[in-house]
Structure 1
Amino acid sequence: MSTQDNSLAENYYQQAIEQWKSRDQKQALQFFKKAVRAKPSNAHYWYALAGTYHIQNKFRAARFCFEKSLNLNPNQDEIKIFLCEICYLLTDYKSVAYYAGQVDLSKIQNLEILYKVACSFKELGQLEKTGQVCSQILSLDDNFWQAKLLAAEILRIKGYSGEAKVLVLELIDQQPTVGKFWNELGINEVDLAHEDEALSAFSKAEQYVSGPEKLIIGSNYLFEFSSGLRTAKDILDAHLLWNKKYCKDQGGSFQSSKFNYLKSNDKKNIAYLSGDFKTHSVSYFIEGILENHSRDAFNIILLSNTQEDEKTKKFKELADIWIDLKLTNFETAAQIVKRLNIDILIELSGHTNGNKLNLLSSRLAPVQATYLGYFATTGLSTIDYWITDNVVHPAHTVELATETIFRLPRCYLAYTPPPQSPSIAESPVIKNGYITFGSFVASRKISDYSILLWSSILSEIPNSQLLIKNRSCVSPLYRSELIEKFSLCGISSQRINFNEAKLNLEDHLALYNKVDIALDTYPASGCTTTVEALWMGVPVLTRLGELMVSRNSASLLHALNLQNWIAETDEEYIDKGIKFTQSIEQLALLRQGMRERFMQSELYDSRGLTLHLEDFYLKALQEKLSANKEVRF
Structure 2
Amino acid sequence: MVKERQRIMLVYRTAYDLWCKKKLSEAAQILQDFWHASGMKSLQGMLLMAYIMRDQKRYISEVKVLEELFERFADSGEYKLLADAWSMLGSVLRRLGDSQLSVEAFKKSVELEPDSEQKLVDCSNALFSANAIDGVTADYMQSLYALYRNLLRNLSITPYPTRKWNHQKIRVGYVSPDLRDHAVAQFVWPLFCQYDKERFSVYAYALTKRPDWVTAALQQKGAIWREVSGENWQEIARQIRDDEIDILVDLAGHSAENALPVFAWRPAMIQLSGIGYFNSTGMDEMQWFLSDVYCSDDETSPYFTERLLRLPKSHFCYRPLGNFPEVGQSPCRKNGYVTFGCFNNFAKVNDGMLMVWKKILEAVPNSRLLLKHSLLGTEEGREYTVQRLKKLGMPLTRIEFRGLSKDYLAQYHDMDIALDTSPYPGGLTTCEALYMGVPVVTLKGNRHGARFGYSFLANLGLEELVAESVNDYIDIAVKLASDTNLLELLRKNMRRIMQASPLMDSEAYMGSLERMYQNILQKFD
Per the normalisation by structure 1, the TM-score is 0.74
Task: Tell me, in whole angstroms, the C-alpha distance in 1 between the residues paired with 2:100 and 2:172.
Answer: 40
* Contact preservation (8 Å) 1:268, 1:299: yes
Alpha-carbon shift at residue 144 of structure 1 (Å): 8.0
Identity of aligned residues (%): 29
Task: Tell me, in whole angstroms, the C-alpha distance in 1 between the residues paired with 2:192 and 2:34.
Answer: 49
* Contact preservation (8 Å) 2:177, 2:258: yes
Alpha-carbon shift at residue 145 of structure 1 (Å): 6.4
Match of 1:393 in 2: 296
* Structure 2 residue runs without a partner (length 5+): 1-9, 36-40
Match of 1:231 in 2: 137
Give the alignment partner of residue 380 of structure 1, picking from 259, 280, 283: 283
Give the alignment partner of residue 599 of structure 1, picking from 499, 503, 521: 499
Q: Does 1:198 align with 2:98?
A: no
Match of 2:425 in 1: 525
Alpha-carbon shift at residue 174 of structure 1 (Å): 4.4
* Contact preservation (8 Å) 2:341, 2:417: yes
* Contact preservation (8 Å) 1:165, 1:188: yes
* Contact preservation (8 Å) 1:158, 1:471: no
Alpha-carbon shift at residue 244 of structure 1 (Å): 2.3
Give the alignment partner of residue 279 of structure 1, picking from 168, 181, 199: 181
Alpha-carbon shift at residue 423 of structure 1 (Å): 0.6
Give CA-to-partner distance per residue, 1:128-151, whole Å, 9 cap, x none. x36368558758987686686466
Give CA-to-partner distance per residue, 1:170-224, whole Å, 9 cap, x none. 4434433410011001100001111232122112211211221100111111111
Task: Tell me, in whole angstroms, the C-alpha distance in 1 between the residues paired with 2:17 and 2:204.
Answer: 29
Partner amino acid, structure 2, of 1:227: A
* Contact preservation (8 Å) 1:393, 1:407: yes
Judged with a 3 Å threshold, the aligned counterparts in structure 2 of structure 1 residues 319 and 469 are, in CA distance, closer, same or farther, namely: farther
Task: Tell me, in whole angstroms, the C-alpha distance in 2 between the residues paired with 1:242 and 1:429.
Answer: 49
Give CA-to-partner distance per residue, 1:398-451, whole Å, 9 cap, x none. 444221111011111011112311011000101111111111111110100100
* Contact preservation (8 Å) 1:398, 1:546: no
Alpha-carbon shift at residue 278 of structure 1 (Å): 2.0
Q: Secondary structure at the match of 1:508?
A: coil
Match of 2:7 in 1: none
Match of 1:241 in 2: 147
Q: Does 1:455 align with 2:358?
A: yes
Q: Does 1:358 align with 2:261?
A: yes
- Which has the greater radius of gyration? 1
Q: Secondary structure at the match of 1:323?
A: strand
Task: Tell me, in whole angstroms, the C-alpha distance in 2 between the residues paired with 1:593 and 1:146.
Answer: 57
Which has the larger displacement, 150-159 or 299-308?
Answer: 150-159
Give CA-to-partner distance per residue, 1:335-378, whole Å, 9 cap, x none. 22221211111001111111110110111111111011222211
Judged with a 3 Å threshold, the aligned counterparts in structure 2 of structure 1 residues 448 and 255 are, in CA distance, closer, same or farther, namely: same
Partner amino acid, structure 1, of 2:505: D
Judged with a 3 Å threshold, the aligned counterparts in structure 2 of structure 1 residues 133 and 454 are, in CA distance, closer, same or farther, namely: same
Q: Secondary structure at the match of 2:243?
A: coil
Give CA-to-partner distance per residue, 1:40-69, whole Å, 9 cap, x none. xxxxxxxxxxxxxxxxxxxxxxxxxxxxxx
Task: Tell me, in whole angstroms, the C-alpha distance in 2 between the residues paired with 1:159 and 1:464.
Answer: 31
Judged with a 3 Å threshold, the aligned counterparts in structure 2 of structure 1 residues 160 and 307 are, in CA distance, closer, same or farther, namely: farther
Q: Does 1:212 align with 2:112?
A: no
Match of 1:164 in 2: 62
Q: Secondary structure at the match of 1:301?
A: strand
1:383-462 equivalent positions in 2, closer than 5 A: 383-395=286-298, 398-462=301-365
Task: Tell me, in whole angstroms, the C-alpha distance in 1 between the residues paired with 2:225 and 2:26.
Answer: 34
Judged with a 3 Å threshold, the aligned counterparts in structure 2 of structure 1 residues 433 and 157 are, in CA distance, closer, same or farther, namely: farther
Give CA-to-partner distance per residue, 1:503-532, whole Å, 9 cap, x none. x3xx12111111000011122111111111
Partner amino acid, structure 2, of 1:495: R
Give the alignment partner of residue 235 of structure 2, picking from 332, 350, 362: 332
Partner amino acid, structure 1, of 2:122: I
Alpha-carbon shift at residue 314 of structure 1 (Å): 2.8
Alpha-carbon shift at residue 236 of structure 1 (Å): 2.6
Judged with a 3 Å threshold, the aligned counterparts in structure 2 of structure 1 residues 396 and 606 are, in CA distance, closer, same or farther, namely: closer
Alpha-carbon shift at residue 155 of structure 1 (Å): 4.8
Judged with a 3 Å threshold, the aligned counterparts in structure 2 of structure 1 residues 332 and 561 are, in CA distance, closer, same or farther, namely: same
* Contact preservation (8 Å) 2:160, 2:267: no
Match of 1:182 in 2: 86
Which has the larger displacement, 466-475 or 170-179?
Answer: 170-179
Task: Tell me, in whole angstroms, the C-alpha distance in 2 between the residues paired with 1:398 and 1:623.
Answer: 21
Give CA-to-partner distance per residue, 1:547-606, whole Å, 9 cap, x none. 123211111111111101111111111111111111111111111111111111111122
Q: Secondary structure at the match of 1:525?
A: coil
* Contact preservation (8 Å) 1:304, 1:323: yes
Partner amino acid, structure 2, of 1:180: D
1:48-67 equivalent positions in 2, closer than 5 A: none
Larger relative contact order (C-alpha < 8 A, sep ≥ 6)?
Answer: 2
Which has the larger displacement, 227-236 or 540-549?
Answer: 227-236
* Contact preservation (8 Å) 1:168, 1:185: yes
Judged with a 3 Å threshold, the aligned counterparts in structure 2 of structure 1 residues 386 and 300 are, in CA distance, closer, same or farther, namely: same
Q: Does 1:617 align with 2:517?
A: yes
